[in-house]
Amino acid sequence: MKVSLLDRSRTRDGVPDAEALAATVARAVHAEQAGFDRFWVAEHHAVPGIASGSPAVLLAAIGARTDTIRIGSGGVMLPLHQPLVVAEQFLVLDALHPGRVDLGLGRSLGFTPPVRRALRRDHEDGDTFEDDLLELRGHLEGTAEVTARPATGRPVPMHLLATGRGLQVAARLGLPVVVGGPVLDAADLPAALATYRREFRPHRGSEPRVTVSLDVLVADDDRTARELALPEAWAMARSRRTGEFPPLESIAAIRDASWPSQVRRRVEETLDRTVAGDPATVRRRIEELVARSGAEELLASSSTTDRDALLVSDRMLREVLR
């Protein structure tokens, strides 16, 4: 199967945000050398734990430092943008890095009410997501009322970050899907994906295609890998308690912190969902997931405080799934 990375430019406690962006670019270079198929970046606005709110800008930097790996967004939050502007940004990227650019799209409106107000999305405008997807595709394919520039004659592939409802939209529009988070844990995942494949309406020869996205960390043994997964699990638990998604803390600082029972439970639940282990454990768990989902690609979205350990994990993951 294809194996790709999603990097969210996670910040570290006490470290300038700019270092997270530099680390993302460096990780993309490493991913290309290791033989990954794609390297995607995300869009999050005004989140303390994430440095990048502009995928197109970050992808331009990554494209300039790499040569062959596909680069893309996981994803651009389309309700926050005009379809023409998104098309122009990604057509520019594709003109600069021909045939290497993907456009993953989501529909999140922002992490908190203040962020949604700052993005002018604190009121209900009605659901235009499917219409916006169609308009965007028209701009990318050169069939819209106005022609987005640069006109490359080469449509940028679109992917939909999908929940249950998003799977229905993707099927109607003939789009590949990326599924992750709670969707992967749902008991009805096989049935939902079977419906997506059955109801898929091809567009220009497209076929149903599923990518699964989840946190994956590989180390020499299961205990070490689970420790590497702890900073992200701790941040997730804190965000549910405080409403703010924080920078990653060191494992030592987390172990020294107070662990209320509810936080401990949430940390353990997140660690259990993470695919963290030695190569044999990781291969087994991913094979089980592929058997349930029929996925053609894995998009690993892992992070940890130790950047060197993360690069080692990436290389081990690539070797595990060759």
Over residues 50-61, the pLDDT tens digits come to 999 999 999 999
The whole-number pLDDT of residue 123 equals: 66
Number of folded domains in the chain?
1
The whole-number pLDDT of residue 240 equals: 85
110-114, 238-242, 251-255: the lowest-pLDDT one: 110-114
Over residues 150-207, the pLDDT tens digits come to 988 888 999 999 987 899 999 999 999 999 988 888 889 999 999 999 999 999 999 9
Give me the CATH number covering residue 312: 3.20.20.30
The whole-number pLDDT of residue 163 equals: 80
The whole-number pLDDT of residue 214 equals: 95
In a domain, 137, yes or no: yes
6-15, 126-135, 214-223: the lowest-pLDDT one: 126-135
The whole-number pLDDT of residue 119 equals: 80
Q: Over 90: is that where the pLDDT of 84 sits? A: yes
Higher pLDDT, 51 or 244: 51
- Please provide the average confidence, as pLDDT, over all residues in the chain: 94
In a domain, 122, yes or no: yes
The whole-number pLDDT of residue 125 equals: 67
Q: Over 80: is that where the pLDDT of 19 sits? A: yes
In a domain, 228, yes or no: no
2 band by pLDDT with thresholds 50, 70 and 90: very high
The whole-number pLDDT of residue 154 equals: 86
Prediction pTM value: 0.95
Q: Over 80: is that where the pLDDT of 110 sits? A: no
In a domain, 173, yes or no: yes
In a domain, 284, yes or no: yes
The whole-number pLDDT of residue 121 equals: 74
Q: Over 90: is that where the pLDDT of 242 sits? A: no
In a domain, 227, yes or no: no
Question: Which structural domain range is residue 119 located in?
Answer: 2-217+276-320
For the residues 105-115, what does the mean pLDDT come to?
A: 81
In a domain, 289, yes or no: yes
Give Cα 160 to chain centroid, integer Å. 11
In a domain, 172, yes or no: yes
The whole-number pLDDT of residue 16 equals: 97
